[in-house]
Amino acid sequence: MDAHLERMRRHPEIAGRVLRLEYTSVSLDPKARLFGRRSLLEQFDPGRAADRPVLAAFEEELACPWALYHVRRILPVAKADPTRRGRAMRSMERVDVDRASALGRRLRSVSERHGVPVEVDDRYGRVRAWVQRRGPALPTIGRGRYSGVGSRAGTGPL
């Protein structure tokens, strides 16, 4: 891992794109970190001089249009073993594309009106609202709305 992080520090512009990809992935699924329990972003310390160019490149990557998505997940039981989780089924619907701040305000406003709790990443701008948290028993359903980082043009896949 250390060698990988050093390569990223030598190439902050590439590292910024990689961090945006992971951030997007984690926006849609909090368990989708690239390196287990800690995200790649968590490996970089804003207080460390060598990490600042990487984090600055990441923040520059975030200065693109973002998208608001409605995400649904169904976790069925496995066909071969009903005590195990089967392959997840997912649906993503893009609701809107705009600046991160505008989408965050919209999601907070709608969520508050409907009494849905909101998670906010104050540092980088992601806003997430869980309409329905998935339960511990199988099968289970999860539904949420997320403001997530879009492509540079704001039109490509998140």
| pLDDT at residue number 151 | 42
- Residues 75-116 have pLDDT tens digits of 899 999 988 989 988 888 888 899 888 888 998 998 899 898
pLDDT category of residue 156 using cuts at 50, 70 and 90: very low
Cis peptide before 139 (omega within 30 of 0): yes
Please tell me the predicted confidence (pLDDT) of residue 149: 54
> Which residue's structure tokens are 């619907």?
93
Q: Which pLDDT belongs to residue 18?
A: 94
Tell me the pLDDT tens digit for each residue of 19-61: 998 888 888 888 777 777 888 999 999 999 999 999 999 999 9
Q: How many C-beta neighbours within 10 Å does residue 156 have?
A: 9
73 within 8 A of 89, measured Cβ to Cβ:
yes
- Residue 131's pLDDT band, with cuts at 50, 70 and 90, is confident
Stated pTM of the model: 0.77
Residue 109 near residue 115 (C-beta atoms within 8 A): no
Beta-carbon-side half-sphere exposure of residue 84 (alpha carbons within 13 Å): 6
Q: Which amino acid is at 35?
A: F
- Mean pLDDT score, 116-133: 85
Does residue 66 contact residue 149 with C-beta atoms inside 8 Å?
yes
**Annotated domain spans of the chain:** 1-63, 64-158
Q: How far apart are CA 60 and CA 124, in angstroms?
A: 11
What is the residue type of 47? G
